[in-house]
Amino acid sequence: MPEPSTSRLGLYKPLNDGSELVNVQQDLNQNWDKLDLAAGFQACTSTTRPSAPYSGKAIRETDTARTYVHNGSSPASGGWVQIPNSASTFASDLNLTSGGQLIVGGSPSDANLAVINSTTSATLISGRLPGDTVSRWFVNTDGNTGWGPGGSTFADVSVARSGTATLTLTGNLTVTGNLTASGIGQKQFARKTADETLTSNATLQNDDHLSAAVAANATYTFEVVLFTIEASGDFVGDIKTAFTIPTSSTLHMTGTGAHVTDLSSGTSSNAEWIGRPSQTTSPTQTLSYGVGTSQTALVIKGIIVTAGTAGTLQLQWAQNVSDASGLTVKAGSWMVTERIA
């Protein structure tokens, strides 16, 4: 009996005691054929893979150009693991270890996907559907990102860095959630959530709800709507309003409401328009208006230009004349501020 054949290629091994003559065909030629077949990647097709491969067996499919190595598992048909190569598509998942990198062009970046392209406009990543001739979505090396309908139609929406600290959108933007800005375009809204009443008090005090934070070296427009009412019908107390502003700020404001001395009933009055330009003292000059026993309203609009100090644009109000009939600024009154520069 010969020695057991080799475990992987099944090469014939004669007895090692010297009692067996060398058989050229069996001992040499057949073994050489097996070695030749096993050298490198064995050529086969996707339907003629080896039926009894050893662990580590490598093959190349001539009909798909894909390459595989066998992992030794059973059944043999399920143990083929694809090896990526540039001649074919990769039909399996490629699982990199956490922190692993996919590097293109020798990029020194430590990103998981690290790419060096020759130009800023070279496409870094894109997405298409079968049949598309242009990308539905792409990112260029410079970060320019575009979206389009696909097919043969080019992207019609893009976001790109157009200058220092500037991002430009080409196309329309629809926001379904909240849009928040902290620079130019920022809007702040405050609403009184409860009535607030002053009685026998003509000293300006901060409104409990209506204020806005303002940045240094900035310009804001603002609008305030106050719903007011007096407790009894003497029409004496009325209302005066003002604002506190940060140091060195300049405020211009105008207001519209019932005439402070003309409101003689709870239902009607002549209107009064008052302007207060170029105020730099905090609190600013007052705007005074009439208040009746039926709810009335006044509107204040203005602009504030801050200097080197940030702070708060704070609405203040009080009775115009101290009076025992309580003055109430009603819940639902509001203030909106928008940064424009």
Q: Is there a contact between 188 and 178 (Cβ–Cβ < 8 Å)?
A: no
Cα 121 to Cα 204: distance, rounded to the nearest angstrom = 61
Residue 328: CB atoms within 10 Å: 18
Flag whether pLDDT at 166 surpasses 80: yes
Would residue 38 count as lying in a domain? no
SS3 69: strand
The pLDDT assigned to 272 comes to: 75
Would residue 216 count as lying in a domain? yes
Would residue 247 count as lying in a domain? yes
Percent of the chain with pLDDT over 90: 72
Domain total for the chain? Answer: 2
Q: Which domain holds residue 139?
A: 120-170
Give bridge partners of residue 302 from the DSSP assignment.
222, 253
Over residues 297-312, the mean pLDDT reads: 97
pLDDT tier at 155, thresholds 50, 70, 90: very high
Would residue 114 count as lying in a domain? no
Flag whether pLDDT at 262 surpasses 80: no
Give bridge partners of residue 70 from the DSSP assignment.
80
Give bridge partners of residue 104 from the DSSP assignment.
115
Using the structure block, give the residue that is written with the tokens 């009325």. Answer: 238
Residues 225 and 326 in one domain: yes
Task: Give the pair of three-digit tokens for residue 17.
Answer: 């005691």
Residues 131 and 192 in one domain: no
CATH number of the CATH domain containing 281: 2.60.120
Residues 131 and 214 in one domain: no
Would you call 79 exposed, middle or buried from its count of C-beta atoms within 10 A (0-12, 13-18, 19+)?
middle
Would residue 50 count as lying in a domain? no
Task: Kindly state the DSSP code that residue 181 receives in the 8-state scheme.
Answer: -
The pLDDT assigned to 292 comes to: 86
Cα 234 to Cα 40: distance, rounded to the nearest angstrom = 107
Q: What is the pLDDT of residues 58-81, one digit of tens each?
A: 999 999 999 999 999 999 999 999
The pLDDT assigned to 252 comes to: 97
Identify the sign of the CA torsion 229, 235, 236, 242.
positive
The pLDDT assigned to 17 comes to: 77
Mean pLDDT of the chain: 91
Flag whether pLDDT at 2 surpasses 80: no
Would residue 231 count as lying in a domain? yes
Flag whether pLDDT at 10 surpasses 80: no
Over residues 170-177, the mean pLDDT reads: 94
Residues 256 and 328 in one domain: yes
Among 80-89, 174-183, 232-241, the minimum mean pLDDT is found in 232-241
Q: What is the pLDDT of residues 123-154, one digit of tens each?
A: 999 999 999 999 999 999 999 999 999 999 99
DSSP string, 215-228: -TT-EEEEEEEEEE
Q: What is the pLDDT of residues 23-70, one digit of tens each?
A: 878 778 888 888 877 788 999 999 999 998 989 999 999 999 999 999
Flag whether pLDDT at 268 surpasses 60: no
Percent of the chain with pLDDT over 70: 96
Which amino acid, residue 216?
Answer: A
pLDDT tier at 167, thresholds 50, 70, 90: very high
Answer with the residue of higher pLDDT: 188 or 94.
Answer: 188
Q: How far is CA 13 from CA 4, 23, 25, 26, 54, in A?
A: 7, 11, 13, 9, 18
Residues 147 and 250 in one domain: no
The pLDDT assigned to 298 comes to: 95
Among 10-19, 240-249, 259-268, the minimum mean pLDDT is found in 259-268
Over residues 89-107, the mean pLDDT reads: 89
The pLDDT assigned to 14 comes to: 80
Q: Where are the beta strands (DSSP E) in 280-326?
A: 287-289, 296-305, 311-318
The pLDDT assigned to 260 comes to: 76
Would residue 55 count as lying in a domain? no
Length of the chain, please? 341
Q: Is there a contact between 212 and 222 (Cβ–Cβ < 8 Å)?
A: yes
pLDDT tier at 1, thresholds 50, 70, 90: low
Q: Is there a contact between 241 and 315 (Cβ–Cβ < 8 Å)?
A: yes
Cα 66 to Cα 68: distance, rounded to the nearest angstrom = 7
Task: Give the pair of three-digit tokens for residue 12.
Answer: 């014939």
Would residue 311 count as lying in a domain? yes
pLDDT tier at 92, thresholds 50, 70, 90: confident
What are the percentages of helix, strand and coil residues in the chain, rounded to 5? Answer: 5, 40, 55
